[in-house]
Structure 1
Amino acid sequence: MKLLKVKEKLEKKQIKKRGIKKEYKNNVNSKGNDLKIIGITGSRGKSTTAVMIHNYLKSLGYKSTLYSSVMVDSPASHLKKNEAYEVAVRDEESLISIIEEAEAYGADYLVLEVNESTLAKGFLKDVPFDVRVLTNLNPKHNLEQYSEEQYVELKKSFFKDIEDDCKCVIGFQDYDKELLDELLKVNKYPKFICASNYIATVKGIESEKVTCLLTGLDTDITGMKLQFKMNGNTHKLETNLIMSYNALNILTALTTLEVLDVLDVNKFEQSLEKLVIPGRAEVYRVNGRLIVVDTHLPAMLDCLKVLKEQGKVNKIKVVVGSMGYGYKHWEERFKTQEFASQRKEVRKYAMDLLIGIADYVYLTESDSGKENPINICEEMKSYLSDEVSSTIIVDREEAIKQAILDSEEGDVVFISGRGNRRILCNSETTMKLLKDSDVVKKILKCIKWN
């Protein structure tokens, strides 16, 4: 078994494991060393890229298991599909459970999303990944927890000190050529770059060195049309996924599948037709409106701004809240006064982004924890001043409903921040279950919009 070394090391620690579904308990993985393991890290796009790869592999008839922050899809696991798990590979307990679940299912592929907190703990070091993927790398992505240097080193660590043969896919977008050169030299294994022709040209990368090169992109509210070069051939691809930043996620998925020698561009395009990434640019097109559920405020605002400037959307209405601090079950670092102070900086930054782009803002709750959600909303409103019209509706479901009802044909309602998460921590000791996409569906059914 390919993961035997890792499994034996973990079992010696007598780590508690999740149970396996009854129907899979006595299964033995007959695949042996044929299991392919794909690890995906990066600043953005990890979940989307992982889901795309997993969905395509399943469409070809392979047994693929997925563990990502937006969803887990592993038939032998008791974890519910299409639910957010924040950090799917959180600790050694999670890892040995994932190994046993993949074994029991007899998986051909194991697709793992790997975030920085997982890398910092170091327990993935012995996992023999066949492909290691970096979607992109923005040194400023997580300044609340890491300095730029610490963050970059964490991401680079995924590609260092590798004992087992592997291939490395490198998405090139948010960082400079010098860092790319470092990544290309960080280990002895083959590297495959994916990037847009624009980025490659601006940052001085010869297009011939790019495995998957985006040469054309057209976006509107119905989706995207991409043109790209791979292995000397030009391909075209259409998808109903919106937002231009998803283009690089598509390139990264295509490159990974090419490296695995399973890529058929036409079949990949077909696999995207009805694909929904839970809580990631999740779109509802109703009554001439566009309702979008997504976690990434800056990236989504950039895309919506372009669509508005092109006359493809009218007004942009944003539903947004802010995390507080101090919920009893959060990690200790989320309970400190230092973290509380950082939240104020993040809130001001977020509100500054809205100025000049959003036409109306609905301020609401979002994991307020120990803080009073009304106080958080009033603080955010003060940063908006009179530059953007806004209203405070603390109940998140009511805020989403009001934004939808206030919208007109051609408008966008962007529900920001929580993505696919269901648990909302609304005091120091309490929580409630509320998932934005479920709320949208409930409201649309109630008001009978098709």
Structure 2
Amino acid sequence: MQASKLIENIKFKRIVPELFEDFRVSLLTQDTREVIAGSIFVAIKGTRIDGHKLVQEAKKNGAAMIIAQEPLPDMTIPVVYVQNTNRAMAILSSFFYGASSQALRVIGVTGTNGKTTVTHIIEAIFSSLNENTGLIGTMYRKIGDEVLKTKNTTPDIITLQRTLNKMVEKGVSTVAMEVSSIALVQGRVWGIDFDVAVFTNLTEDHLDYHKTMAEYAHAKSLLFSQLGNKYAHSGDHKVAVLNNDDSLSKQLEEDTAAEVITYGIKNNAMIRATNVEIHGQGTNFDLTVFNKKYSVTVKMVGMFNVYNILAAFAAAYACGVSPEKIIKALEQFSGVKGRLQLLTSQNKVSAIVDYSHTPDGLLNALETINEFAKGKVFCIIGCGGDRDRFKRPKMGKIAVENSDFAIFTSDNPRSENPQVIIDEMLAGIPELKEIPTFIDRREAINFAVSMAQPGDIILVAGKGHEDYQIIGATKYHFDDAEEVKKAFELKEQMD
């Protein structure tokens, strides 16, 4: 695409110089490391890095044009000045990559907990229908069978548009995508044409960024308020899928122009689970879909996973998939790595690796385990550094009150002192108790495994699918599931 044609899509701009030699755009990027000859570099003013200070580097690497919102003196290549480079980047990337979301069925999932599991279940449902599917989220980006690494739950808008464009090229029809609250506030999904938006729940998280629960709730609401504002003649219009057991859903229903479908367990809903029975091998429940009842057996455990299943069911149902086909796919789905992932030793000690890194997520995981645990429950938990400090004492308190044996350790301490993080977790314990603490997470896992007896369950919480640990500014390989398996093997050798 020619540069002159691309920037026509920004209505309000100032070009310096007004007349410039046109060129074919090779790449649109906000990352100087990606810049090649013929690139357009978008200078984004971020919280840590200001792209305006990197324009000379971008020019040196081959950039032929800069998009900026602040004055750039002494530039010898064309500069397009706009009010907001984030918004300009969203507009330009949509047109540069062919507005690919409009050629796809895009299902966005937002909420504090459950996004990864819900998107994986949705992807599994449509894969079972022999569709070529895509997935974008915390663990990776997936295009058919191709897996790509990702930095954020929701990528930046250029990476997102590139990914969607590649999905179209590869014949993908349905995309399940996690949409984080921070991404919504930062405009990372501006221009994405969502067909279905799913809300899981709202509990405390990311208050280091949003500051208050009201701001956090508002961030989540943006996905629904931006969910189209027209009704297609064919009936193929937008749908909001809402958790009727979460109080925010009432507000979201008012915020959206889309049709609404509700799900739940406690309150009456269009799609509802009753008679839920959780056991060590899975969960059984009765599913009512607009007054028609079905019996469902799944391989996933936990009440919160029933909510995840209902959310995914409602999303697929909103897209016209029959209940029978959805249930068949659900019964074959075995779960997601790091989401209540069960590991068992030869001497019948069980470990569950889970991504429960919020107070609500940790409580849900422990309550689920306590429902079917026959022996003692151990809980290994840490809190991330440079993140929400308010939840640390709450996490400590939940771990102590809902397990027989709590062990505090490091998660991703980042630039913080790990011992300070642990001390802040200890502050949440109402009565002074002897809590084993290990700055080294591997030592914490080995200690729990050495203490556990047959029939006991060890919850290793907080990191889930992550295969790394960030200490200082360095990312080291560390996988909770791998470490548990090693600890099991070590104990078996010693016994």
Question: Fold-level match, TM-score > 0.5?
Answer: yes
Q: Distance in 2 between matches of 1:241 and 1:8?
A: 51
Q: Which residue of 1 aligns with 2:476?
A: 432
Q: Which residue of 1 aligns with 2:260?
A: 191
Structure 1 length as normaliser, TM-score?
A: 0.79
**Aligned CA distance change for structure 1 residues 59 and 7 (closer, same or farther; 3 Å):** farther
Q: Which residue of 2 aligns with 1:337?
A: none
Structure 2 length as normaliser, TM-score?
A: 0.72
- 1:355 pairs, out of 377, 400, 409, with 400
The answer to whether structure 1 residue 51 and structure 2 residue 120 are counterparts is yes
Superposition pairs of residues 148-227 of structure 1, within 5 angstroms = 148-161=213-226, 162-163=228-229, 165-175=237-247, 179-196=248-265, 198=266, 200=267, 207=268, 210-227=269-286
**Deviates further, 377-386 or 257-266:** 377-386
**Aligned CA distance change for structure 1 residues 408 and 266 (closer, same or farther; 3 Å):** farther
The answer to whether structure 1 residue 231 and structure 2 residue 293 are counterparts is no
Q: Which one-letter code corresponds to 2:458 in the other structure? A: V
Q: Which residue of 1 aligns with 2:363?
A: 301
**Aligned CA distance change for structure 1 residues 135 and 444 (closer, same or farther; 3 Å):** same
CA contact (8 A) 2:373 2:456 kept: no
CA contact (8 A) 2:243 2:311 kept: yes
**Aligned CA distance change for structure 1 residues 236 and 323 (closer, same or farther; 3 Å):** same
Q: CA deviation at 1:97?
A: 2.0
SS across alignment from 2:28 = coil
- 1:442 pairs, out of 456, 463, 486, with 486
Q: CA deviation at 1:386?
A: 6.3
Q: Distance in 2 between matches of 1:214 and 1:8?
A: 51
Percent same amino acid among aligned pairs?
20
SS across alignment from 1:277 = coil
Q: Which residue of 1 aligns with 2:440?
A: 395
Q: Which one-letter code corresponds to 2:483 in the other structure? A: V
CA contact (8 A) 1:66 1:73 kept: yes
Q: Which residue of 1 aligns with 2:384?
A: 323
- 2:142 pairs, out of 65, 70, 73, with 73
Superposition pairs of residues 244-393 of structure 1, within 5 angstroms = 244-265=303-324, 268-286=327-345, 287-296=347-356, 297-305=359-367, 308=370, 312-325=373-386, 343=389, 345-381=390-426, 383-384=428-429, 388-393=433-438
- 2:197 pairs, out of 132, 140, 143, with 132
Q: Which one-letter code corresponds to 1:145 in the other structure? A: Y
SS across alignment from 2:391 = helix
Q: CA deviation at 1:194?
A: 0.5
Q: Distance in 1 between matches of 2:426 and 2:255?
A: 46
Q: Distance in 2 between matches of 1:252 and 1:412?
A: 28
Q: Which residue of 1 aligns with 2:105?
A: 36
SS across alignment from 1:246 = helix
Deviations 1:328-380 (A, max 9, x none): xxxxxx6xxxxxxx52x422221122232222222222221223323433554
Deviations 1:3-44 (A, max 9, x none): xxx99969899226989xxxxxxxx99x99662111111121
The answer to whether structure 1 residue 143 and structure 2 residue 207 are counterparts is yes
Q: Which one-letter code corresponds to 2:28 in the other structure? A: Q
**Aligned CA distance change for structure 1 residues 424 and 71 (closer, same or farther; 3 Å):** same
Q: CA deviation at 1:64?
A: 0.3
**Aligned CA distance change for structure 1 residues 72 and 444 (closer, same or farther; 3 Å):** farther
Q: Which residue of 2 aligns with 1:106?
A: 171
**Aligned CA distance change for structure 1 residues 163 and 420 (closer, same or farther; 3 Å):** same
Q: Which one-letter code corresponds to 1:405 in the other structure? A: S
Q: CA RMSD, aligned part only?
A: 3.2
SS across alignment from 2:403 = coil
Q: Which residue of 1 aligns with 2:468?
A: 423
Q: CA deviation at 1:225?
A: 0.8
Q: Distance in 1 between matches of 2:123 and 2:225?
A: 25
Q: CA deviation at 1:248?
A: 0.7
**Deviates further, 160-169 or 418-427:** 160-169
**Deviates further, 360-369 or 70-79:** 70-79
CA contact (8 A) 1:195 1:212 kept: yes
Q: Which one-letter code corresponds to 1:149 in the other structure? A: A
Q: Which residue of 1 aligns with 2:85?
A: none
Q: Which residue of 1 aligns with 2:182?
A: 117
**Aligned CA distance change for structure 1 residues 12 and 38 (closer, same or farther; 3 Å):** farther
Q: Which residue of 1 aligns with 2:70?
A: none
- The structure with the largest alpha-carbon Rg is 2
Deviations 1:47-92 (A, max 9, x none): 1100001012112211001011133322486614xxxx46232212
Deviations 1:242-300 (A, max 9, x none): 12111111111111111111234365345443523122222224443331111225434
Q: CA deviation at 1:322?
A: 2.2
Q: How many residues align?
A: 399
Q: Distance in 1 between matches of 2:291 and 2:316?
A: 17
Stretches of structure 1 lacking an aligned partner (at least 5 in a row) = 1-5, 20-27, 201-206, 326-333, 335-341
CA contact (8 A) 1:360 1:389 kept: no
**Aligned CA distance change for structure 1 residues 382 and 185 (closer, same or farther; 3 Å):** closer
